[in-house]
Amino acid sequence: MAELIKERMTVANEQELVVFLIGMRVNKVLKVQKWTPVAASMTRMLKELKLHPEMGFLGGETTLNFPTTVMIQYWRSFEDLAVYAGNRDAVHLPAWREFNRQVGSNGDVGIWHETYRIPAGHYEAVYNNMPAFGLGKVFPLIPATGQRESARTRMATRQN
């Protein structure tokens, strides 16, 4: 179990950030042969991204709430995310092509993503009695005191 940090913490918001929400939904539970390859390919992608930080993936959190999975990913830039998505030598593009070949729009398995490009100074976070989590895993944690005490001041002190 991760160590609890028993004080109010935040993260510096001095760099651009891309938040990428991605997941899948099992629409036909009995079609295991359709949805397990999708889940397995995400596992392979995450392994690849963790082994190659130069690709721009900073980290993420996953929530499994069957039949839907949600992963929050943090990326260094939109360009890094787009390059990874189209990289013929990486796991994603072949997996995406296989999904379209095996599932496409037949309704067996749903996939989704949302992308948010956030300029430096336009995001904030707070954690209290938590292990490092979310942005607090990918950016240095700093005490949420003084100028960083409230969400309003955490946003205002770093806006460009």
pLDDT computed for residue 72 by the predictor: 98
CB 2 within 8 A of CB 137: no
pLDDT computed for residue 160 by the predictor: 42
Contacts of residue 87, Cβ cutoff 8 Å, sequence gap at least 6: 93
CA separation for the pair 1, 21 (Å, rounded): 25
Mode of pairing for the β-strands spanning 57-65 and 68-75: antiparallel
pLDDT computed for residue 125 by the predictor: 93
CA separation for the pair 86, 147 (Å, rounded): 41
* pLDDT tens track for 12-55: 888 999 999 999 999 999 999 999 999 999 999 999 999 999 99
pLDDT computed for residue 112 by the predictor: 97
- Which H or E element spans position 25? strand 17-26
pLDDT computed for residue 157 by the predictor: 56
3-class SS at 14?
Answer: coil
Q: How far is CA 122 from the centre of its chain?
A: 17
β-sheet bridge partners, residue 117? 18
Question: Per-10-residue mean pLDDT for the chain, 160 residues long?
Answer: 90 92 96 94 96 97 95 98 97 95 95 96 93 94 84 66
DSSP notation for 96-156: HHHHHHHTTTSSSEEEEEEEEEE-TTS----BSSB-S-THHHHS-EEE--GGGSSHHHHHH
Domain 17-118 has CATH 3.30.70.100: yes
Task: Give start-end residues of each CATH 3.30.70.100 domain in the chain.
Answer: 17-118
Q: Quote the longest CA-to-CA distance of the chain.
A: 55
Cα–Cα distance list, 135 to 11, 66, 89, 130, 141 (Å): 7, 25, 28, 12, 9
Radius of gyration in angstroms for the set of CA atoms belonging to the chain, rounded to a whole number: 18
